[in-house]
Chains A and B, each alone.
Chain A
Amino acid sequence: SQQGEEDPQALSIQEGENATMNCSYKTSINNLQWYRQNSGRGLVHLILIRSNEREKHSGRLRVTLDTSKKSSSLLITASRAADTASYFCATKRTSYGKLTFGQGTILTVHP
């Protein structure tokens, strides 16, 4: 089964609203990363949060990590139509481990 699982599978909001996506995982991790993918394109890295960190910000993005609940959330504030994309979390279990991707959340922001 997937190490990272995103929730919801799809999210539809209006421009200006906030979007929250969640990621749950099963085993302990070294770090967790969020990526964005526009339709038919490669992935773009958004944020990396290490297991000893609880929150990180980057522009309109805020990522939290709760290792006791084995979960992370990605918040996009004041969303724009250009934020429409699929968002993936990826977990790295150990220092030498590979990244394991979840199935993604499809975000649609309506103008």
Chain B
Amino acid sequence: DGGITQSPKYLFRKEGQNVTLSCEQNLNHDAMYWYRQDPGQGLRLIYYSQIVNDFQKGDIAEGYSVSREKKESFPLTVTSAQKNPTAFYLCASSIGNRGQGLSSYEQYFGPGTRLTVT
């Protein structure tokens, strides 16, 4: 089965703790993305990566960090510096490479992780 997976589906943390969300894809895609979705809202881009060992900040990167050590994996850490971390987090991947541009092709999304921080 080819696809993109996120784990866990639900995550609960106490305020002040860092938490890492997992995202894995076996689609052989170069580009990977992290988005945040708040209730009734669209998606906002947190970080993206065009290639292994390279990533860029999106529109709302403050309080988040990522790594891209393997093509298949793009974990997101929500740090204690993120003021309002409770949200639905979506990971996506696409074929896009530097020659074609990030989003020349459609993005494939994982099922999401709902993070609740209390």
Chain A contact residues, CB within 8 Å of chain B:
2, 4, 30-31, 33, 35, 40-45, 48, 88, 90, 92, 94-104
Contact = CB atoms under 8 A, between A and B. Distances in A.
B41 A103 contact: yes
B56 to A, nearest CB: 9
A45 B106 contact: yes
Nearest to A104: B42
Contact of A44 (B6, B45, B109): B109
Contacts of B101: 30, 92, 94-97
B42 A42 contact: no
Nearest to B41: A103
B63 interface: no
Given A2-B42, A98-B58, A41 B102 contact: no
Interface residues of B, number: 28
Given A33-B106, A43-B109, A92-B103, A98 B42 contact: no
Given A88-B42, A98-B45, A42 B103 contact: no
B111 A42 contact: yes
A16 B3 CA distance: 32
Contacts of A103: 40-42
Give the secondary structure class of B's interface. loop
A2 B42 CA distance: 9
A45 B104 contact: no
Given A103-B41, A104-B42, A98 B103 contact: yes
B26 to A, nearest CB: 16
A11 B17 CA distance: 40
Contact of A98 (B40, B48, B98, B108): B48
Given A42-B90, A42-B112, A97 B103 contact: yes
B116 interface: no
A58 B90 CA distance: 25
25 contacts: A2-B42, A4-B42, A31-B104, A33-B103, A40-B112, A42-B90, A42-B109, A43-B90, A43-B107, A44-B109, A48-B105, A48-B106, A88-B43, A90-B43, A92-B101, A92-B103, A95-B100, A96-B98, A96-B101, A97-B101, A100-B45, A101-B42, A101-B44, A104-B41, A104-B42
